[in-house]
A and B are shown apart, each in its own frame.
Chain A
């Protein structure tokens, strides 16, 4: 994992939510490595923050690789 960004907001039904944007190293986002990597990141964040129990926030995760972000130059992910 390279870094995590987040935004507080609401999901499509209006429930309060926290949206995590996780930038992964290219190596971690390839083939069979992707899901274990995303699961590890997700579990670590949820165990540490526990947003459902702590604040009633539904967690949402989006993952992107470094090379994808380099191409998109998305400021929300920088």
Chain B
């Protein structure tokens, strides 16, 4: 099982660790772990394209949380505009919907992770946390449905923080 999948499984484990009254520590670590599951999935997929395997870990360090979020936000905006003019069902729309779900889940999971790690005033509930984890799990499924599509690969490149291939800045 890949590292990202292990993290997702661990997030679920933490969310269910206490049977009755979940500890805030378990819930907050679950939220953080779910975000890192998606973060590492996307990075692993991006670096997989690097031919020299021995440099993939070094390449992974280039990714930055803020730049990845900005790229996701930009993609969500583009796709929201695209939906307005392209409502016809088809493979292109399906791929776009999957990309949107990945970008949306990433943005949301990152914000939750920040709150989970740094905001001591927030009370987490198991429902909140499980919904977050399942949103990430859904993003995993969406990603795996489209990972070989050009649109998906261009999205990965955009996560570096530069211009997406084929797009004007």
Contact yes or no, B128 A35, CB < 8 A: no
Contact yes or no, A38 B131, CB < 8 A: yes
A18 at the interface (CB under 8 A from B): no
**Tally of A interface residues using CB under 8 Å:** 25
**Tally of B interface residues using CB under 8 Å:** 27
User: Which B residues contact A (CB, under 8 angstroms)?
Assistant: 66, 69-70, 73, 76-77, 80-81, 84, 107-108, 110-112, 114-115, 123, 125-128, 130-131, 134-135, 137-138
Contact yes or no, A72 B125, CB < 8 A: yes
**Is chain B's binding surface mostly helix, strand, loop or mixed?**
helix
Contact yes or no, A13 B80, CB < 8 A: no
B84: chain A residues at CB < 8 Å are 53
Contact yes or no, A34 B127, CB < 8 A: yes
* Nearest-neighbor residue (CB-CB) of A35 within chain B: B134
What is the distance, in angstroms, from A48's C-beta to the closest C-beta of chain B?
13
A–B pairs, 26, beta carbons within 8 Å: A12-B111, A12-B114, A13-B66, A13-B70, A34-B134, A35-B131, A35-B134, A38-B131, A38-B134, A38-B135, A39-B138, A52-B76, A53-B84, A58-B76, A58-B107, A60-B108, A60-B112, A61-B108, A61-B131, A62-B131, A63-B131, A64-B127, A65-B125, A65-B127, A68-B125, A68-B127
User: Which A residues contact B (CB, under 8 angstroms)?
Assistant: 11-13, 15, 17, 24, 29, 34-35, 38-39, 50, 52-53, 56, 58, 60-65, 68, 72, 74
Contact yes or no, A62 B128, CB < 8 A: yes
